[in-house]
Structure formats: C-alpha cells, structure tokens
Amino acid sequence: MARILITSAIPYINGIKHLGNLIGSQLPADLYARYQRGRGNEVMFLCATDEHGTPAELAAAKAGKPVAEYCTEMHGVQADIAKRFGLSFDHFGRSSSDQNKALTQHFAGRLDEADLIREVSEKQVYSHADGRFLPDRYIEGTCPNCGYDRARGDQCENCTKQLDPTDLIEPRSAISGSTDLEVRETKHLYLRQSSMKDQLDAWIDSKTDWPILTTSIAKKWLHDGDGLQDRGITRDLDWGVPVKKGDQDWPGMEGKVFYVWFDAPIEYIACAKEWADASGKPDTEWERWWRTDKGAEDVRYVQFMGKDNVPFHTLSFPATILGSGEPWKMVDHLKSFNYLNYDGGQFSTSQGRGVFMDQALDILPADYWRWWLLSHAPESSDSEFTWENFQQSVNKDLADVLGNFVSRITKFCRSKFSEAVPQGGTYGEREQALIDELTKRVRAYEGHMEAMEVRKSAQELRAIWVAGNEYLQAAAPWSVFKEDPEQAAAQVRLGLNLIRLYAVLSAPFIPETSARMLSAMNTLDTSWPEDVAAALDALPSGHEFSVPEVLFAKITDDQREDWQTRFAGTRD
C-alpha cells in the first residue's frame, strides 16, 4: 500500500470561488485522491483557506465585520461548498490557525539562523487616498514587459513576469483607483532566494516527470532577465502572522506581519497538525506525512495548482523548506493547470465574471459540473466554458451514454425477469470480446489516472461506458429473450454487473452518482477491478437490486438560454 500526500492550492478567503478556481486545483486533486483511495492506498488530502493579507482586510471592511470574524464565517462557507461539490479533504484548515502561526515563525527563525534572511530598507508605495501602504498586489498599472494594463505590483497575470510596484507604468491604487501615491521608506525582511538558485535549479532538474508547464515557468523565473530575485517576506499590515524568530521578538520588525505568500504554503504542513490536534492524535501522526526522519521518506507528495501559483511552489516554498535545514518532505510531483476561461472572456473573482461555485450548485447537482470541468481540464492549454458545450457534454456523455445504459438494463430486467440478477445462460464470444476490451481500457484508464492525465482519463472512462452501450445494442437481449430467455438472462446479468463496475470506476469523477448506482445495485462492494472478468461476476444470480431514478436529466435548450442570459453580466 502506497502512502500519498496531496495538497491543492489554498483559496483566498475573500469570497466564494468560481469554476476556474475549482478546476485549477481542488477538483483535479480530489479526482486523484479518490482514485488512489479506490486503489487501496493511504491518502492524506489537505487544503485550507488562505486568510491573511490585504484581500481579507478589504473583504471584511466591505462586509462591515472584524477581519477575524469575517474569516471564520467565510471559512465555514467555503468548507460547506467544498463538501457539496464532493471534495474529499481529510482536513480543510485555516492559515490563521495557531499551528500555522507557530510553524511560520519557526521557519523564519531557522532561515535567519542559516543567514538566508536579510533586512532591507526599501521604498514602498503609500496611498494618500487610502491612508495606508499598498501591498504589491494592490497596485495596478501597465506591465513594462507585455503591456497588459491590469498588471499587479507583484506579478503580471498575463505574462507571469515578477514585478515590483515601481516597475509599473502609470501605477494606481487597486483599492480606490487613486494615482495620488507616494513612495515612502520602510524596513522589511527578504528571503535570500538568489543564494539558493543553483540548489533549486538542480532540484527542479531532478523532476523529469513534471508537466512542461510547471518546469517552463520555474525555469523562466530562475533564468530570464536578472534571474531569481530575493523576495520580501514581511508587510506593513495589521492582519497576519506577527514577525518573530520562533517565539522570540524580531527587533525592528515590531507591528509587521509575514507576507501572505510566505505563510500560506507553510499551512500545508500546519494543516496536517491541525488535523491531528482536532482528532486527538499524537504529533507522530502528522509528522509521518511531513518529516522524513519520522516516516515520510516513503510518502509521495503531489501538489495541484493553477499556473499563476507555480513560481511560489517551485521556488519560494522549496527555498523555505530547503533553507530550514530540517528534514521536511519536499514535493515529488507538481501538477499545474492553465486557465479556464468563461464564454469569450476570463473568470475573475475581483471583477465578478463567470459562474461561481454556489451558483453552479443552485442550478444542477455537483456531478454535472465535476464531469464537464474534469473532462475539459485546461492541461495543455487554456480551455473555455461555454453553455453550448456544457449542454452537449452533459446530454451526450452523462445522459445518453451512462444514464441511458443504467436505465435500459435495469428496467428491462425488471420487466422480463424481476428486480434480482437473473440466472441461466453462459457468456459467449461477444461477452468475452467485451471483457477483453474492458480489460484493455481499464488498464489504460489506470495509467492515465496514475499519470494525472485528467482529460485522457475522462476520455477513457467515457469509452468504457460506450463499450457497455455498444454491447447492449449488439446483444439486444430484448430480442434474444423471445427465442432464448436463458441467454438473455446471461446478457442482463453481465449488464447489471457492468453497472457496479461503472460505479467503481466512475467514483473519482462523479462520486454522488457512483454512490446512487451502488445503492441501486444493493451493494457495498467497491473493490477495484484488478480482474475485469471476476468483477463482472461480483453480483451473483438472485442478488436483488432496484431501478434507480434517472441519473442525469438532459439540459433543454430553454434552460441553456435562460442560464446564458442570467449569467451574462457580473456578480455583485
């Protein structure tokens, strides 16, 4: 049994996330976690809310609530939506937890001892209109590299180039829009990433199985322009992890907090300690996932994230881990995704464009969305959500192929035999051909899932569903029954066993529907089909079942047009 640690990029606390956020990290991570559990492996799947920094402060101010109260409330909202989408986290933590504060301060102390932190007197932008220093991401302007006119002061979303606010052309406050900005002097701590460039470069080179998207972004940051730059890890804010060396004060840093991009990735580790503390487990239980001197040496650690998060997870966070000099588990595989765009434009939380997770669940159950998003995952390039494509995929894949198969075989069995697996007849050449094809396809499906090839996995799963439909159509038990009821019984018996097999294979993609299929088949047997022929005899003759309700309702043209109109604007 393998041990697999899985983390997905932790979402900001400032509001409900859109479908682009979901497919960029959490949903494919859940797919992989569910698949690995289904294969009998031990999985620790962690996520959390990212609660520090200006986004949280501004969202709380807009809501008229203290920031700590706002974060607690929104953590509950995000946890509930994640549960309703079937995201199977072992723990959904909070970066504002005491555990993360302690670990963040611990890492800072270790890095300082290793001479990897330096104090810098620097000039930062102060907004007179807002009455505060502006964090880098709350200064907008034109990117000097690509000309994008909504680049942030820390990074251009368009070309991913790392920036400083003073690099921007015609900078303005992203809060008020004011251009009445002043550069003032302040002191901050910097992580000396540049001194670790060669070490990070060699580490990245060792990851030969990483997606090209991941390594290309990391290498770009390492070698383009002036190469890897030291990174500020503190900010002049009220809300965040207070700057300390372990449990000791840091002279000259009073009143400052750690930069959210320093403490947020550390929450991956802290989240496991939160899990252990919440369930009354000893520290050895979370340490066996994260410390290679406590059992984590045999753990495979996989991260999932959108491409905009890649630089911090391939450089800054690894620099923190390596620089500490302690035996922490490093990521083994980093699966990155491009962007999912929305109907001719971009999803955007800040601009309120697109379908958000709560709105999606108000329209249709989670499995409709899970299937479309995963089967159209933006792996090799950006992809686009359109209502026409969504309707087509739901109707053809889920309703016509999978749902239709389950409905036809269960209703036919009930009408001609009973609500029990019929006996009689034997499998012939046609059945053996199906078993051979399914064996080949199940092995291919496993290969794609192991490689985290999300789209290819979905394509292979759909092909497995199609194979059952084609068999049923060719075998035509409704015709065979008239001349040879026993042979029809064998065909129906195979079809009913296919439903259980489909439920097991489909569970990572559509878990709620999988559970409904298993319930209809009156079985708790979720054993993986190592032997497909044996799996197709799992439900014996006489085993009772029930005809399920329609698994997937088709989306009508009227519904599609209504949704297109309803979501054509922006969300308040």
For 20-49, the DSSP string reads: HHIIIIIHHHHHHHHHHHHTT-EEEEEEEE
Residues in the chain: 572
Q: What is the mean pLDDT of residues 58-74?
A: 94
Q: List CB contacts of 516: < 8 A, sequence separation 6 or more.
A: 548, 549, 551
Res. 121 pLDDT band, cuts 50 70 90: very high
Residue 571 has pLDDT above 50, yes or no: no
Q: Do domains 3-111+259-337 and 386-535 have the same CATH topology?
A: no
Residue 342 has pLDDT above 70, yes or no: yes
Q: What is the mean pLDDT of residues 57-67?
A: 91
Segment 410-417 long-range contacts (CB within 8 Å, at least 24 positions apart): 410/496, 410/499, 410/520, 410/545, 410/546, 410/547, 410/548, 411/547, 412/477, 412/478, 412/492, 413/492, 413/495, 413/496, 413/545, 414/547, 416/478, 416/481, 416/485, 416/488, 416/492, 417/489, 417/492
Neighbours of 91 (CB within 10 A): 18
CA 413 – CA 411 distance, rounded (Å)? 5
- Average pLDDT, whole number, for the chain? 94
**What is residue 572's predicted lDDT score, i.e. its pLDDT?**
45
Residue 448 tokens read as 């794609």
Neighbours of 120 (CB within 10 A): 13
Residue 352 has pLDDT above 70, yes or no: no
Neighbours of 144 (CB within 10 A): 14
Tens of pLDDT, residue by residue over 216-258, are 999 999 998 778 999 999 998 889 999 999 999 999 999 999 9
Q: Give one DSSP letter per residue of 148-206, joined into a string.
A: -TTEESSB-TTT--B--GGGSEEEEETTT----EEEEEEEEEEE-GGGGHHHHHHHHHT
| Of residues 265, 285, 266, the one with CA closest to residue 275 | 285
SS3 124: strand
**What is residue 346's predicted lDDT score, i.e. its pLDDT?**
79
Q: What is the mean pLDDT of residues 399-426?
A: 97
Residue 570 has pLDDT above 60, yes or no: no
CATH architecture entry for 386-535: Orthogonal Bundle (1.10)
Q: Which residues pair with 147 in a beta bridge?
A: none
Helix, strand, coil tally for the chain in percent (to 5): 50, 15, 35
Task: Report which of residues 276 and 153 the model is more confident about.
Answer: 276
| Of residues 422, 548, 428, the one with CA closest to residue 497 | 422
Binding-site residues for ATP: 349
Q: Which residues pair with 125 in a beta bridge?
A: 183
SS3 331: coil
**What is residue 61's predicted lDDT score, i.e. its pLDDT?**
86
CA triplet 92, 95, 98: central angle to 5 degrees?
Answer: 105
**What is residue 123's predicted lDDT score, i.e. its pLDDT?**
83
Parallel, antiparallel or unpaired: strands 117-127 and 181-191? antiparallel
Tens of pLDDT, residue by residue over 474-483, are 999 999 999 9
Res. 565 pLDDT band, cuts 50 70 90: confident
Judge whether 9 and 309 are in contact, CB under 8 Å: yes
Res. 134 pLDDT band, cuts 50 70 90: confident
CA of 210: how far to CAs of 27, 217, 451, 479, in Å? 19, 11, 10, 52
Residue 463 has pLDDT above 50, yes or no: yes
Residue 89 has pLDDT above 70, yes or no: yes
Tell me what percent of the residues of the chain surpass a pLDDT of 90. Answer: 86
CA 145 – CA 167 distance, rounded (Å)? 9
**What is residue 220's predicted lDDT score, i.e. its pLDDT?**
92
Parallel, antiparallel or unpaired: strands 3-8 and 42-49? parallel
pLDDT-wise least confident of 17-21, 55-59, 367-371: 55-59
**What is residue 165's predicted lDDT score, i.e. its pLDDT?**
87
DSSP designation for 376: T
Residue 385 has pLDDT above 50, yes or no: yes
Res. 351 pLDDT band, cuts 50 70 90: low
Sequence spans of domains, the chain = 3-111+259-337, 386-535
pLDDT-wise least confident of 40-49, 229-238, 279-288: 229-238
CA 303 – CA 61 distance, rounded (Å)? 33
Tens of pLDDT, residue by residue over 15-26, are 899 999 999 999
**What is residue 154's predicted lDDT score, i.e. its pLDDT?**
85
Binding-site residues: 143, 146, 156, 159, 349
Per CATH, domain 3-111+259-337 is 3.90.550.10 = no
Task: Report which of residues 568 and 394 the model is more confident about.
Answer: 394
Res. 313 pLDDT band, cuts 50 70 90: very high
Binding-site residues for Zn(2+): 143, 146, 156, 159
